[in-house]
A and B are shown apart, each in its own frame.
Chain A
């Protein structure tokens, strides 16, 4: 049982390049989330999904797109990377017990945009 995994762990991009971050969970969770973490700002929600085939915007969605084609996977895309997107990205998942269940986090992806 691997929990939540993220690939890649590290990435350096040049401004304007694109990339996709992959999140996978093996807990059969309905809900999945993408956050970014910046120093002193906690975690900010980028996008989330409440089930296969669904996505919704979070607090800071601009510049990102997501897809949830399979229940176990949640992809985060950057179409044209900007230095402001330098951050640590965390994926999380949870069950759908009305919010009572905790979120399970992946180990993070450290992204630098030059």
Chain B
């Protein structure tokens, strides 16, 4: 069984401030972890993923995330927010024994204030 919890359904930051979106997961087998971004009226797009190897992964648009097994976390960060980062962000977990099915968190809406 697998599950994802995203802490905070809404996060607001000022332009230029640090972005931190939290994701905790549970999985009975080693997980594959993903962050997706959804802009208004669009589908989800992959930001970054962790499968194996280096626990700090870098994605598009300056985002990165760190896999911490001991904390079962995969938080998403960006050093300096840009207005164009305003969107909804989804964390997802996928197990390699689960026919490729993903479990998504409920999403976090990021607002960037000028």
- Interface on A for B, CB 8 Å cutoff? 4, 31, 33, 40-43, 45, 48, 50, 56, 58, 90, 92, 94, 96, 98-100, 102-108
Q: How large is the interface on B (under 10, 10 to 19, 20 to 34, 35 or more residues)?
A: 20 to 34
B82 within 8 A of A: no
- B32 and A108 form a contact (CB under 8 A): no
Q: Which residues does chain A contribute within 8 Å of B98, judged by CB atoms?
A: 99
Partner of B42, one of A42, A103, A107: A107
Known pairs A42-B105, A90-B43, A106-B43; A100 contacts B32 (CB<8 A): yes
Closest to A106 in B: B43
Closest-CB distance, A112 to chain B (whole angstroms) = 15
Among listed B14-22, B45-53, B69-77, interface-contacting one: B45-53
- B100 and A94 form a contact (CB under 8 A): yes
- B96 and A42 form a contact (CB under 8 A): no
- A48 and B9 form a contact (CB under 8 A): no
Would you list which residues of chain B between 64 and 114 have a CB under 8 Å from chain A? 90, 92, 94-102, 104-107
- A40 and B106 form a contact (CB under 8 A): yes
List 14 contacting pairs A-B, 8 Å CB cutoff, sorted by A: A40-B107, A42-B105, A42-B106, A43-B90, A43-B104, A50-B99, A56-B99, A98-B96, A98-B100, A99-B94, A100-B51, A103-B34, A103-B46, A105-B45
Q: Which residues does chain B contribute within 8 Å of A56, judged by CB atoms?
A: 99
Closest-CB distance, A76 to chain B (whole angstroms) = 15
Known pairs A100-B51, A102-B49, A108-B43; A58 contacts B101 (CB<8 A): yes
Partner of B43, one of A31, A98, A100, A105: A105
B44 within 8 A of A: yes
Contact with A along B15-40 (1 / 0, CB 8 A): 00000000000000000101010000
Known pairs A4-B43, A42-B90, A90-B44; A103 contacts B102 (CB<8 A): yes
Closest-CB distance, A110 to chain B (whole angstroms) = 8
Known pairs A43-B104, A48-B101; A102 contacts B42 (CB<8 A): no
- B45 and A96 form a contact (CB under 8 A): no
Q: Which residues does chain A contribute within 8 Å of B92, judged by CB atoms?
A: 103
